Amino acid sequence: MRQVGPEYWLGWAKAYLDGVRERRDGALEKIRTYLVWLWTGYTSAVGIGFTIAERTIDDDIKLWLAAGSVLLIVAYAATVHALIPPRMKFDPQHVPGIVAAHNEHSRVRRNRIGSAFLLSMVATGVAGVGLLFAATSEANPPNELRVAVQAPRDGALQIAVRGRVPPNSSGGLWLERPDGERILEQSFTTFADGVIGQHLDLPSHPDDPDDLAAHRVVISWPEEGVEHRLSRPLGGSSD
């Protein structure tokens, strides 16, 4: 018959604690694997999916998508950190010191595991919300420019300029001569709809209609540090 004494209980306690540690480490490994899988799928959806679809998304949605990626990385780092056993110092001849060190070790590991789990859930939620917003948002309409020469008024011509650029843009528009000279320069500012609606008034009626047709209306605006342009000849198509 097996003797039940200090050695028995010491062995039982060791086996129990080893089992707890293995279960915790196993759970953390599953979280780590899940985060790797989620981050890979998430970045593929954001980086490749929208490129293929040629979608443009608003800045607030970009922030959600960026936050999701950052939080996934932070959650992964927290999970790896939780897998690293905390350092313990104790006197092997002092039982109360051993108990105190074990309790502190357990507390630190519980906190790390809890933080890793919480961060993984928050990262999953933010990433999901970002993808949902991006998938359900309306695509920004393409930039466009239309011009129309209206009937003479008081001996002059009026050129109606209609177009669409990114919302809340500011830029300039002008009539460009065949030699590249700019005339009738104006500025414009769009609102949430991105619509431009302005007029260019010619000071007099041109003697040669073909000369006017060689002119072109140009609009220009900055976007993310890059100058964009659209132009349309009064007698041709935009470029």
Question: What phi and psi, each to the nearest 5 degrees, are found at residue 58?
Answer: -70, 160
Residue ending a domain, among 110, 136, 162, is 136
* Residues 12 and 119 grouped into a single domain: yes
**pLDDT bucket at 238, cuts 50 / 70 / 90:** very low
Cα dihedral sign, 152-156-157-163: negative
Closest CA to 184 of 159, 165, 164, 155: 159
Residue ending a domain, among 136, 168, 192, is 136
Between 26 and 37, the more confident residue is 37
**Structural contact between residues 97 and 71, judged by C-beta atoms closer than 8 angstroms:** no
Q: What is the tally of structural domains in the chain?
A: 2
**pLDDT bucket at 24, cuts 50 / 70 / 90:** confident
User: Where is average pLDDT lowest: 24-28, 146-150, 162-166?
Assistant: 146-150
Count, residues in the chain? 239
Q: Is residue 239 included in any domain, yes or no?
A: no
* Residues 14 and 123 grouped into a single domain: yes
* Residues 87 and 154 grouped into a single domain: no
The single-letter code of the amino acid at 191 is: F
pLDDT of 1: 46
Q: Is residue 162 included in any domain, yes or no?
A: yes
pLDDT of 237: 45
CA distance 237 to 239: 7
Residue 21 belongs to domain spanning: 6-136
* Residues 155 and 62 grouped into a single domain: no
Instruction: Please report how the helices 6-44 and 95-136 are oriented relative to each other, as an axis angle in degrees rounded to 10.
Output: 20
* Residues 116 and 58 grouped into a single domain: yes
Question: How many Cβ atoms sit within 10 Å of the Cβ of residue 123?
Answer: 25
pLDDT of 17: 62
Q: Enumerate residues 6+ apart whose C-beta is below 8 A from 139.
A: 55, 56
Indicate the average pLDDT of the chain.
76
The helix (H) or strand (E) run that includes residue 27 is helix 6-44
**Structural contact between residues 170 and 211, judged by C-beta atoms closer than 8 angstroms:** no
Query: Mind listing the pLDDT tens digit for each residue in 34-93?
Result: 899 998 888 888 777 666 555 566 677 888 888 998 999 999 999 888 888 777 776 766
* Residues 78 and 184 grouped into a single domain: no
Kindly state the tokens that stand for 57: 């998304």
pLDDT of 45: 81
Q: Where are the beta strands (DSSP E) in 82-209?
A: 144-153, 156-164, 170-176, 182-189, 195-201
**pLDDT bucket at 108, cuts 50 / 70 / 90:** confident
The helix (H) or strand (E) run that includes residue 233 is strand 226-233
* Residues 105 and 149 grouped into a single domain: no
